[in-house]
Structure 1
């Protein structure tokens, strides 16, 4: 009888620890905005000349690596703790950014380079949503103990 009680206590403590850990995984809102801004800037690059695009791509690559490092330091999320649904959101966001880049290239080539800013604005919203959904799904995955 006492072992049942201690087992229930241990399970309750484990649930409490998982809930506390999931609560610590929340990234600050500015980090979501920074990822969204980097993706939007990438999609907006066709609006600018070659002299701006080439260094901007390298700058964006460095910025994304730095943001990923900051995200890991702030949240402590490891890739194996994320879960398949969160990876699905990530994949959808990557495809959306690439599709929006193609639309941006088409608009810049056929109409005016400044039309590339419209898909960039959409990209900002999509990536912000994806970041928030990714975080929420990761927190649920950790809370469930998967």
Structure 2
């Protein structure tokens, strides 16, 4: 069991922190949209921004254990990738909510599933790749 956990440590850690990032995203969205009655698109931007900050720190330190000396390049790449997936999130929210395809909270959860998968692929292949990969 220990060998299996060590073999898949990165994926397990990504899932753990991905869930926590999603929780940050959804809680911030809920508080802003439902409790503070902020427009759902503005609430979504706030949720995205705070969850990306949380994700960068946890992905760099705990998931991919980056030792890169090129922190600024890494950070710019991370935020750029998250901006792209944030646009995906925003577009999905806009279409599903404005055309009444899904309620906003359900749309937010579905969007996050797509965003988590895209973020892992981008992080693994382009942002936190180890030397020689």
* TM-score bin (small chain): 0.5 to 0.7
SS in 1 for 2:122: helix
Q: Is 1:118 matched with 2:111?
A: no
Q: Is the 8 A contact 2:74 2:128 kept in 1?
A: no
Runs of 4+ in 1 over 6 A off after TM superposition: none
Distance in 1, Cα, partners of 2:20 & 2:80: 21
Q: Is the 8 A contact 1:87 1:134 kept in 2?
A: no
Distance in 2, Cα, partners of 1:38 & 1:92: 19
- Using the size of structure 1 for normalisation, the TM-score is 0.50
Residue of structure 2 in register with 1:132 after alignment: 120
Q: Which has the higher helix share?
A: 1
Structure 1: gaps (5+ residues): 1-22
CA separation of 1:98/1:41 partners in 2, compared to 1, >3 Å: closer, same or farther? farther
CA separation of 1:127/1:37 partners in 2, compared to 1, >3 Å: closer, same or farther? farther
RMSD after superposition: 4.5
Paired residues, what number?
114
- Using the size of structure 2 for normalisation, the TM-score is 0.53
CA separation of 1:129/1:79 partners in 2, compared to 1, >3 Å: closer, same or farther? farther
Q: Is 1:36 matched with 2:22?
A: yes
Structure 2: gaps (5+ residues): 1-6
Residue of structure 2 in register with 1:4 after alignment: none
Q: CA deviation at 1:141?
A: 4.1
Q: Which has the higher contact order (CA 8 A, sep 6+)?
A: 1
Pairing partner for 1:68 from 49, 56, 70: 56
